[in-house]
Amino acid sequence: MSDLSLDDDSGVINVGVDSFVGPLRDAGVDVTTVDWEPPGGVDASLRDEMAALGRYGGQIRDANDRAARRLVEARPVWRDVRTARAELPALDEMALCHSGPPVEWAEMSGPQRGAVIGAILYEGWADDETAAEDLAASGEVDFVPCHDQSAVGPMAGVISPSMPLAVVENEAHGNVAYSTLNEGLGEVLRFGAYTPAVIDHLEWMETDLAPVLSRALDAHGPVDLKRLSATALQMGDEVHNRNVAGTALLIRELAPTLASLDSAGSVSEVLSFLDDNEHFFLNLSMAACKSGADAAADVPWSTVLTAMARNGTEFGIRVSGLGDRWFTTPATVVDGLYFSDYSEADASPDVGDSSIAETTGVGGFAMAASPAITQFVGGHPQEALDYSREMYGITVTENENYALPALDFRGTPTGIDLTRVIETGVQPIINTGIAHREPGVGQIGAGVGRAPRACFLEAMRAFCAAYGDGEPPSEVAE
Amino acid sequence: MSDLSLDDDSGVINVGVDSFVGPLRDAGVDVTTVDWEPPGGVDASLRDEMAALGRYGGQIRDANDRAARRLVEARPVWRDVRTARAELPALDEMALCHSGPPVEWAEMSGPQRGAVIGAILYEGWADDETAAEDLAASGEVDFVPCHDQSAVGPMAGVISPSMPLAVVENEAHGNVAYSTLNEGLGEVLRFGAYTPAVIDHLEWMETDLAPVLSRALDAHGPVDLKRLSATALQMGDEVHNRNVAGTALLIRELAPTLASLDSAGSVSEVLSFLDDNEHFFLNLSMAACKSGADAAADVPWSTVLTAMARNGTEFGIRVSGLGDRWFTTPATVVDGLYFSDYSEADASPDVGDSSIAETTGVGGFAMAASPAITQFVGGHPQEALDYSREMYGITVTENENYALPALDFRGTPTGIDLTRVIETGVQPIINTGIAHREPGVGQIGAGVGRAPRACFLEAMRAFCAAYGDGEPPSEVAE
């Protein structure tokens, strides 16, 4: 678990902690030890604990290979569009899902509060903004992380019972993941806007968009999201913040079936909506990633991440070998490109589940696929290549299904290894949209952020504590 | 006209021929002269003639700027689909258009002969292959280069009177260009196949595809091909041999209108055909390029190329300041990636008008946009960048509308300068499909070729002869 010699298959260069190498030496691997000081935040006690875990290096390595292989082998298909109430158990009650780790109304960020108000109005649980806020604060509404419901939502990530969800099945592992349908740009709920136009649009999505898409999928059969993502990565998308190709490829594939449905008027309206919304593929990509991440979860001994998610207040991660525990730290503001009239001072701290993309090896990790995105998130095309190259240093494997043309078709860096993040000091990068900090305003920019280190340190300590006795904790024991 | 210092705006480095620099020195430009021997094929007489032209360097430079600006400023839109007979004057008679410079039946390459046979069968001018060959050999059918009819056709490039053509208007300069509609892959006329299935498909294009597209364009309004090409270049297409993005973007744009037409059955069939044909955008891209090339033609004093085209027998070029004269040399076989079961021995020499893409600054010149294409045409992604970089050395300007993300959004190298090709020895590169040398077989590979030098030398000699007296030849005089 401690070697940094990712590219050296003739042996292992061990950095610093001698006890890590025992199992490797025992296995006949040629090990070179060099001086190493762990990067910031690793105190003597954590260092000792990590060193003590070294004796289980082989187990951890095997577990990480297994978890990362699940990410690579996941085969997500878009199967249907169904109502959230029918699919997510938590939404049986008066409840709302939200992005990121758990959070209650009192601590919620502006955009998430705005989206909660909008969802309450959309559900008809309150008649106006004030009543909606009162209800949200009353404790009568349960707030549940999307991630706990096999779901993901971009930005505020609010899912209410009446919303249509994309149903994505991971055909390789049999699990299902969900996401909302992307609303488009402009004034939208996911950025915390809740004007009557936003609510009307959500209603159109429920009554017009969802049934047409559901009928089209029924007639067409499942849409292979893995193939679409792989192709989109050859076409300048990184399938997180740039989805022009994914969306166009999806339209191309569904258009013949859509045109054969007998409701020409609403089909044409649906195709216009898709044509106007270059991010439509984002939510499908997120559900596809989530279906892989859930398949990679709960692998005993694995230090591979299965979630990075933000609620605008906290940034949280989950680790495969630690089940569904969240490790959190305050979310920070993203340094990015701001739309005119806005600056970092207006920005909400980082928010949204869309970092499931990076968690599973695309998005920022696939920046090399997308030099054009630097015009949207800032930076120079060369940096897009550098970001991907850097991420190979903290990941377990390369996803050969997702080839990066500019890196000579090398597979995307996949499976973030908590241990490598701690050892190298390299924080995962995340491409993201930036919401205004006030409810109701919307998107004000986009940028490239880094996952904050503190929650990784906390997770590493928890991992050492959980596995220090040589046994997986009960929640992930096989 | 003789400087090679494309990137040095502080002065001019003159290579070799002193008399070239007179006008520059007169204009106060700082000129450095270095030793230079012209690359192969420039004999003493041509060298002297080029040197003598040096006194008109300022005029030539201005004319080239003007021609290249027309390439950059062209604004092609796809306006309609109409029958060739009604649009191309030559097709009033029993005539067929073909790709490349003029050629008669006796000298035609295999794929072009196959396409001529197919077109004769499709038109009903003969009942079987033998009768079609007899008719083609009889002299009763006129063979006319597409280029002479403001048209272009990929590969064999055969246009017959009943075929539907895309009508592309260059809104900046008011001229119109035409191309056939792309037939798809597999057994197709453009690669010389003429089985009943090929003819049936051409009939379906005439009776089903063309009317639906024409009605959609009528309802939608013209499609902005310049914007689609620019976007496709951000998405891994070079809009010649890779058109995945251009085709998907076109479908995305037209699908809402198509779905609103009242013939759901054939609309769905048309959308399926487009979904199955990732090269559909190619022919539109070619017509768009041709509309720019024609606008850049006939500029007195300009050494900018306005056509590079091949008929499978000869490779020909046209030069703006020399009007519609062709300069030709035998076509060569392209070194590329061959489909399994085929090799260079099976290949037809280079064929098709699609090199209008490179002539106007895209295709191979925009390879840096398309690292993924190296999997189709051969080579390494890094070479894709190198090709584009090399082409800046023989072009007049950069097309800021067509930005190359991997080259930090530098505009595509645009406006091939005959003089620079002669001086540098750098031959324009061309991405191309490869046809089997026998009629009726079809595509057997794809690759990157170089325009042969001989026709450039011939054109340079002709230019010196035409302009040696300080006056443009009558056919281009203003």
Question: SS3 for B124-172, per residue?
Answer: CCCCCHHHHHHHHHHCCCEEEEHHHHCEECCCCCCECCCCEEEEEEECC
B310 pLDDT band, cuts 50/70/90, is: very high
Identical topology for domains B68-72+297-476 and B79-287: no
Q: How buried is residue A172: exposed, middle or buried, by Cβ count under 10 Å (0-12/13-18/19+)? A: middle
Question: Model ipTM?
Answer: 0.89
A5 pLDDT band, cuts 50/70/90, is: very low
A32 pLDDT band, cuts 50/70/90, is: low
A405 vs B234, B381, B407: nearest CB: B381
Could B405 and A381 be called an inter-chain contact, meaning their C-beta atoms sit closer than 8 Å? yes
Is residue B2 pLDDT above 60, yes or no? Answer: no
Q: Torsion angle, CA of A195/A200/A202/A206, rounded to 10 degrees? A: 160
Of residues A445 and B36, the one with the higher pLDDT is: A445
- Residues of A near B (Cβ–Cβ under 8 Å) read 231, 234-237, 244-245, 247-249, 251-253, 255-262, 264-265, 267-269, 271-272, 274-275, 371-372, 374-375, 380-382, 405-409
What number is the average pLDDT over the span B221-232? 98
Distance CA A240, CA A243 (A): 7
A263 pLDDT band, cuts 50/70/90, is: confident
Return the number of CB contacts < 8 Å for A and B.
Answer: 117
Q: Which two tokens stand for residue A352?
A: 């949204």
A255 vs B255, B407, B409: nearest CB: B255
Q: Sort out which chain B residues have CB atoms less than 8 A from A255's CB and list them.
A: 251, 255, 258-259, 271, 274-275
What number is the average pLDDT over the span A343-362? 96
How high is the pLDDT of residue A24?
52
Q: Sort out which chain A residues have CB atoms less than 8 A from B267's CB and list them.
A: 259
Q: Provide the 8-state DSSP code for A428.
A: P
Distance CA B160, CA A416 (A): 59
Is residue A21 pLDDT above 60, yes or no? Answer: no
DSSP codes of every residue in A150-163: TEE-STT--B-TTS
**pLDDT tens-digit series, residues A279-326:** 999 999 999 999 999 999 999 999 999 999 999 999 999 999 999 999
Q: Which two tokens stand for residue B456?
A: 């450039």
Distance CA B185, CA A465 (A): 60
Is residue A364 pLDDT above 50, yes or no? Answer: yes
Could A256 and B269 be called an inter-chain contact, meaning their C-beta atoms sit closer than 8 Å? yes
Could A253 and B275 be called an inter-chain contact, meaning their C-beta atoms sit closer than 8 Å? yes
> What percent helix, strand, coil does chain A show, rounded to 5?
45, 20, 30
Contact partners, residue A135, CB within 8 Å, separation at least 6: A120, A125, A126, A141
Could B247 and A245 be called an inter-chain contact, meaning their C-beta atoms sit closer than 8 Å? no
- Residues written for chain B: 478
Query: Alpha carbon B323 to chain centroid distance?
Result: 17
Distance CA B393, CA B5 (A): 9
What number is the average pLDDT over the span B147-162? 98
Q: Which residue, among B209, B220, B251, would best test binding to A if mutated, counting the most A CBs under 10 Å from its CB?
A: B251
Q: CA of B410, closest CA in chain A: separation in Å?
A: 11
How high is the pLDDT of residue A378?
79
How high is the pLDDT of residue A439?
82
Q: Provide the 8-state DSSP code for A253.
A: H
Q: Which two tokens stand for residue A359?
A: 């968690």
Identify the CA nearest to B290 among candidates B227, B351, B239, B355. B355
Could B259 and A259 be called an inter-chain contact, meaning their C-beta atoms sit closer than 8 Å? yes
Asked if residue B182 lies in contact with residue B282, where contact means CB atoms within 8 angstroms, the answer is yes
Is residue A31 pLDDT above 60, yes or no? Answer: no
Asked if residue B38 lies in contact with residue B47, where contact means CB atoms within 8 angstroms, the answer is yes
Could B275 and A255 be called an inter-chain contact, meaning their C-beta atoms sit closer than 8 Å? yes
CA atoms within 13 A on the CB side of A397: 21
Domain locations in chain A? 74-287
How high is the pLDDT of residue B27?
56
A27 pLDDT band, cuts 50/70/90, is: low
Is residue A243 pLDDT above 70, yes or no? Answer: yes
Asked if residue B251 lies in contact with residue B311, where contact means CB atoms within 8 angstroms, the answer is no
Is residue A1 pLDDT above 60, yes or no? Answer: no
Is residue A9 pLDDT above 60, yes or no? Answer: no
How high is the pLDDT of residue A40?
82
Of residues B378 and B461, the one with the higher pLDDT is: B461
Of residues A232 and A4, the one with the higher pLDDT is: A232
**pLDDT tens-digit series, residues A211-241:** 999 999 999 999 999 999 999 999 999 999 9
DSSP codes of every residue in A22-44: HHHHHTT--EEEE-----TT--H
**pLDDT tens-digit series, residues B51-107:** 999 999 999 999 999 999 999 999 999 999 999 999 999 999 899 999 999 999 999
Is residue A18 pLDDT above 80, yes or no? Answer: no
For domain B68-72+297-476, which CATH number applies: 3.30.930.10, 3.90.1700.10, 3.40.50.300, 1.20.150.20?
Answer: 3.90.1700.10
Identify the CA nearest to B217 among candidates B61, B79, B343. B79
Is residue A87 pLDDT above 70, yes or no? Answer: yes
In chain B, which residue's Cα lies nearest the Cα of A253? B275
The mean pLDDT of chain A is: 92
How high is the pLDDT of residue B376?
80
* Amino acid at residue number A27: A
What is the architecture, at CATH level 2, of domain A74-287? Answer: Alpha-Beta Complex (3.90)
What number is the average pLDDT over the span A461-466? 97
Could A380 and B408 be called an inter-chain contact, meaning their C-beta atoms sit closer than 8 Å? yes
How high is the pLDDT of residue A380?
86
What number is the average pLDDT over the span B229-239? 97
Asked if residue B87 lies in contact with residue B308, where contact means CB atoms within 8 angstroms, the answer is no
Please name the residue ranges forming H helices in B180-335: 196-204, 210-220, 225-233, 244-260, 264-276, 280-295
CATH 3.90.1710.10 applies to domain B79-287: yes
Is residue B25 pLDDT above 80, yes or no? Answer: no
Contact partners, residue B309, CB within 8 Å, separation at least 6: B99, B100, B101, B145, B147, B152, B315, B316, B317, B352, B353, B355, B356
**pLDDT tens-digit series, residues B247-303:** 999 999 999 999 999 776 699 999 999 999 999 999 999 999 999 999 999 999 999
How high is the pLDDT of residue A477?
74
Q: Sort out which chain A residues have CB atoms less than 8 A from B258's CB and list them.
A: 255, 259
Q: CA of A430, closest CA in chain B: separation in Å?
A: 21
How high is the pLDDT of residue B18?
46
B271 vs A255, A274, A275: nearest CB: A255
Contact partners, residue A5, CB within 8 Å, separation at least 6: A11, A12, A13
A14 pLDDT band, cuts 50/70/90, is: very low
Of residues B441 and A19, the one with the higher pLDDT is: B441
How high is the pLDDT of residue A36?
60
**pLDDT tens-digit series, residues A101-160:** 999 999 999 999 999 999 999 999 999 999 999 999 999 999 999 999 999 999 999 999
How high is the pLDDT of residue A7?
35
Identify the CA nearest to B141 among candidates B188, B86, B96. B96
What number is the average pLDDT over the span A79-85? 98
Is residue A19 pLDDT above 50, yes or no? Answer: no
Order of strands across the sheet that contains B151-152: B151-152, B176-180, B164-170, B76-83, B223-224
Is residue A373 pLDDT above 90, yes or no? Answer: no
- Residues of B near A (Cβ–Cβ under 8 Å) read 231, 234-237, 244-245, 247-249, 251-253, 255-260, 262, 264-265, 267-269, 271-272, 274-275, 371-372, 374-375, 380-382, 405-409
Neighbouring C-beta atoms of residue B126, cutoff 10 Å = 17
Is residue A28 pLDDT above 90, yes or no? Answer: no
How high is the pLDDT of residue A268?
94
How high is the pLDDT of residue B3?
38
By three-state DSSP, how is residue B174 classified?
coil
